[in-house]
Structure 1
Amino acid sequence: MNATPVSTARAALTVLTALSLSALALPAAAQSATPPAAAACPSGLPEGTRCLNGRDYLGAYYWIAVPRDWQPETGVLVVHAHGGPALGEPTLARSTGDLQRWSVMVRAGHAWAGSSFRQGGVELLAAAEDTERLRQLTVATIGQPRRTLLHGQSWGAGVAARMAERYVTPDIDPRRTAPGPLPYDAVLLTSGVLAGGTRSYDVRLDLRVVYQALCQNHPKPDESAYPLWMGLPPDIKLTRAELASRVDTCLGVQRKPAERSAAQQQRLTTLTRVVKLPEHEILSHLNWATWHFQDITMRKLKGRNPFGNEGVQYSGSDDDATLNRDVLRYRADPDALAALAQDTDPTGRLLLPTLTLHGIDDQTAFVELESHFRETVTEAGAADQLVQVYTADHAHSYTSDAHYVSAVEALLDWVDKGDKPSAARLAQRCKTLPTQWQPASGCRIRVDYQPAPLDSRVPQRRRPPAATAPAIKRP
């Protein structure tokens, strides 16, 4: 019998794991600071689920959930990388909310593990290490499962994508002639921020400069000026409520259209046309372009700027020439851009079967990011490891139980049988699920859809060359 592509790739990966350790490799003896302790499950989990939580030795909180009758020799473990990223100190509540949102995995009969990550802020590779450390702890607690799937949601999809390209067995003993079980078998990326920090955040710099040209209140004229790429200087105290009030004063976004002034409506219309964000998403993206930018530039990059808009020609206003004259222009620092790329940009060198699901009208992580990811993976020679599927959804945080159950089943068939899925076959699988997953209302896969290029959504700009993650040889 001829070997399937998946079995061939897995054999090659086994050779790779015996040759080197990845950047995700962690000491096998690493211990949890708070060993997993039995805990009452959060609401929404099936009766009979066994739940444990704790805090690991680097400070990440976690939950582990094991369905009734789950056995490692036949069971599947789903390891979850959450979105965000959150700012501030880690909390158990962060992981609790993830377990509740993704209880579908446990309801489908799979064990689940999710980490809060050790710290807040944009630290993607650290989050990847936290996720892998939890997998090791979970296996030590509940046993080595038959299959392990890695699931990344939103920003966590970027975490999982980097893990899929840096893949080796982290707990291998170099003295052995053969490695142990592969840590992950396949990857599911949902609503992913998959163009890395160097491309995914361009729209937010564009939003800041266009908003400021129109509104002149972030910062206000009587406040200290600062470069907008900074997000917010550390010594300026601005609350989210205060920013929301400023945005509403300028744009009227918290008012019904009939309650807005003509000037507010004109500015709002101009902003949405130029930046290509709907009005209900303006405040959310401005929040990210304020406090997340502050985290990236001030904490992570020590005051250096990775963001630029040189060469951008903004269009969609009543007077584009005036707009392009008035917007502030910034040039990215090459070293800062390189540092951000090293941590956050996928290289596309996927080493695991990877399936993405993305809502077509998702305005938080817009669907054109998937085009950039596809191009990156194709250029890296790993297109055979990627299947992308799109759904008729506008939601970012969750689409439907049926989509996720179908995706997990398809990934398992890809790994177990070499049966690579397609959008059409996934749609058919979704429609034939048992009624408990409500396939009639939950299956919204659009089999012929392909997103437009990222440059059609976010204008091109001049940028200095940025380093990417270190080269990883494919087997």
Structure 2
Amino acid sequence: MLLPTPRLLHAAALLIPPLLFGCANVGEPPFAEAAPTATKCPQAVPSTARCLAGTDSKGAHYLIAMPADWNGHLLLHAHGGPFLGEATAKRAEEDLTRWAIAVKAGYAYAGSSFRQGGVEVRAAAEDTERLRRIFRAHVAKPKRTILHGQSWGANVAAKGAEMFTASTVGSQPYDAVLLTSGVLAGGTRSYDFRTDLRAVYQYLCNNHPRPTEAQYPLNIGLPAGAKMVQADVAARVDECLALDKPAAQRSADQQAKVQTIERVLKIPASSIQGHMNWATMHFQDIVEKRTGGASPFGNAGARYAGSSDDAALNAGVARYRADPAAVRRFAADTDLAGRIPVPVLTTKWIGDPTAFVELDAHFGETMKKGGSGDRLVQTFTSKGTHSYISDVTYPVLLDALLGWVEQGAKPTAAGIAAACPAYEARFGAGCSFDASYQPKPLESRVVARERP
């Protein structure tokens, strides 16, 4: 079906009462957060917009942008990553720069740096909800609030939509949820292949750690207190795989190892380095700071295939069992129940090498099991990158969500694909929705394993 145009949607918002999902954001308890102050907007934001910045009571920095032609709606953003280290105002500025399209489309924007770095989903969801309340208390009361999560932030947004509802905060805080390029299988499933990568890489390369260094279980990332940065990991990976060189300049042995990883783990060479970084420093953060020193990751029972000698590979890779208590702690923070009481729309580039498209298949099953399957619509694109698909992609999705909330017009992948070209005159070319695509199960991409 065709979606209504942005102008018609705006008119509908003024004329049609919110019958389907109720009136949100009333009767909330008193709020004592300080007001934000005026600040210069990033260059990517329209020059007619005004920006506000602040630091909340937990130490999270945030940035708000108000367009001159505000449509009355708020896009509340949860960023990806996560990044390690202290929270910085620069992070909030980078996010607004990337998502300036929301302001260009007439939406107010609010994004938090989160109070800390590291893999802690619930805390990030709390920081995002606190920012929503800051916006309402000190800036404006939006007609509708759309909670947006990007990449790892999609996990944050989905968890936040389950945590903060009418029953927990006194009124429904979010009218709809938009999840883009999402890590949507929860921490206990989404990171399995990174455990596999560490094990297969070590089997092939044996330099992380080196034989001369203290040995440790690969599923902890690094020992507690050990210091390593991305450049250190890259130096070891390039030493073995020469990812810093074109394929034609690698030795035959190096290229064979790269191809083994590509075939066994189903990731392109271009994403090996990024996943090795996450499987090193992020795993260390999780084990050292989130799960009591034990690892929630394991590869016991995993049977790898695609190498030149699978029997030797499976006999030679290191094996680890996930600690049951660590799994429970990590699941409580990151896994989803599929109980989201408002419309949810997702999109992902089919070729995403960072957050596999099969994660969306798992999320769809989670939503069905949690009783929210009828509140989910999933879309996929044939072009894009993990970090950003195209400018035009996001306004059409936001308008589709508003049409769903305000008119009860549940969108379809086909309807969104058909509506997109009409937005290109304003937002530029870039429509690539594939209405027929359906992702395969997660187990088709990431090998099954024993679980506690």
TM-score under structure 1 length normalisation? 0.89
How do residues 263-274 of structure 1 correspond to structure 2 at under 5 angstroms?
Answer: 263-274=253-264
Partner of 2:382: 392
Take 2:137 and 2:229, find their aligned partners in 1: how far apart are those partners? Answer: 43
Take 1:315 and 1:434, find their aligned partners in 2: how far apart are those partners? Answer: 44
Partner of 1:418: 408
What is the one-letter code of the residue matched to 1:375?
E
Q: Does 1:453 align with 2:441?
A: yes
What is the one-letter code of the residue matched to 2:222?
L
Partner of 1:467: none
Q: Does 1:144 align with 2:141?
A: yes
Q: Is the 8 A contact 1:46 1:107 kept in 2?
A: yes
Partner of 2:30: 28
Residues 106-144 of structure 1: CA deviation (Å, up to 9, x unaligned): 001111100000011011011000000000001112221
Partner of 2:123, secondary structure, is: helix
Note the C-alpha offset of 1:434. 5.3
What is the one-letter code of the residue matched to 1:416?
E
Take 2:264 and 2:175, find their aligned partners in 1: how far apart are those partners? Answer: 42
Q: Does 1:222 align with 2:212?
A: yes
What is the one-letter code of the residue matched to 2:450?
R
Partner of 2:417: 427
Partner of 1:442, secondary structure, is: coil
Q: Does 1:131 align with 2:131?
A: no
Partner of 2:65: 65
Q: Is the 8 A contact 2:83 2:118 kept in 1?
A: yes
Take 2:133 and 2:166, find their aligned partners in 1: how far apart are those partners? Answer: 11
Partner of 1:200: 190
Residues 69-94 of structure 1: CA deviation (Å, up to 9, x unaligned): 43xxx601110000011100000000
Partner of 2:146, secondary structure, is: strand
Counterparts in 2 of 1:394 and 1:436: CA distance versus 1, 3 Å: closer
Partner of 1:308: 298
Q: Is the 8 A contact 1:53 1:61 kept in 2?
A: yes
Partner of 2:328: 338
Take 2:74 and 2:225, find their aligned partners in 1: how far apart are those partners? Answer: 45
Partner of 1:50: 50
Q: Is the 8 A contact 2:199 2:318 kept in 1?
A: yes
Note the C-alpha offset of 1:381. 1.8
Residues 413-447 of structure 1: CA deviation (Å, up to 9, x unaligned): 00010000011110111111251212xx3100000
Q: Is the 8 A contact 2:20 2:406 kept in 1?
A: no
How do residues 226-265 of structure 1 correspond to structure 2 at under 5 angstroms?
Answer: 226-265=216-255
Q: Does 1:285 align with 2:275?
A: yes
What is the one-letter code of the residue matched to 2:40?
A
Note the C-alpha offset of 1:276. 0.9
Take 1:257 and 1:348, find their aligned partners in 2: how far apart are those partners? Answer: 43
Partner of 1:38: 38
Q: Is the 8 A contact 2:31 2:133 kept in 1?
A: no
Tell me how many residue pairs correspond in the alignment.
Answer: 436
Partner of 1:433, secondary structure, is: helix
Note the C-alpha offset of 1:29. 2.8
What is the one-letter code of the residue matched to 1:248?
D
Partner of 1:468: none
What is the one-letter code of the residue matched to 2:256?
Q
| CA-atom RMSD in angstroms | 1.9
Q: Percent of pairs identical after alignment?
A: 53
Partner of 1:428, secondary structure, is: helix
Take 2:88 and 2:225, find their aligned partners in 1: how far apart are those partners? Answer: 26
Partner of 1:470: none
Take 2:60 and 2:450, find their aligned partners in 1: how far apart are those partners? Answer: 39
How do residues 160-171 of structure 1 correspond to structure 2 at under 5 angstroms?
Answer: 160-169=157-166
Q: Does 1:317 align with 2:314?
A: no
Note the C-alpha offset of 1:235. 4.0
Take 1:105 and 1:145, find their aligned partners in 2: how far apart are those partners? Answer: 15
Counterparts in 2 of 1:39 and 1:170: CA distance versus 1, 3 Å: farther
Partner of 2:94: 97
Take 2:60 and 2:158, find their aligned partners in 1: how far apart are those partners? Answer: 20
Note the C-alpha offset of 1:166. 2.7
How do residues 72-91 of structure 1 correspond to structure 2 at under 5 angstroms?
Answer: 75-91=72-88
Note the C-alpha offset of 1:364. 0.6
Counterparts in 2 of 1:235 and 1:76: CA distance versus 1, 3 Å: closer
Partner of 2:13: none
Partner of 2:104: 107
Take 1:171 and 1:238, find their aligned partners in 2: how far apart are those partners? Answer: 41
Q: Is the 8 A contact 1:348 1:377 kept in 2?
A: yes
Q: Is the 8 A contact 1:167 1:351 kept in 2?
A: no
What is the one-letter code of the residue matched to 1:283?
Q
Take 1:202 and 1:44, find their aligned partners in 2: how far apart are those partners? Answer: 37
Q: Is the 8 A contact 1:362 1:393 kept in 2?
A: no
Note the C-alpha offset of 1:205. 0.1
Q: Is the 8 A contact 1:304 1:336 kept in 2?
A: yes
Take 1:47 and 1:302, find their aligned partners in 2: how far apart are those partners? Answer: 48
Counterparts in 2 of 1:405 and 1:362: CA distance versus 1, 3 Å: same
Flag structure 2 segments of 5+ consecutive residues without an equivalent.
1-15
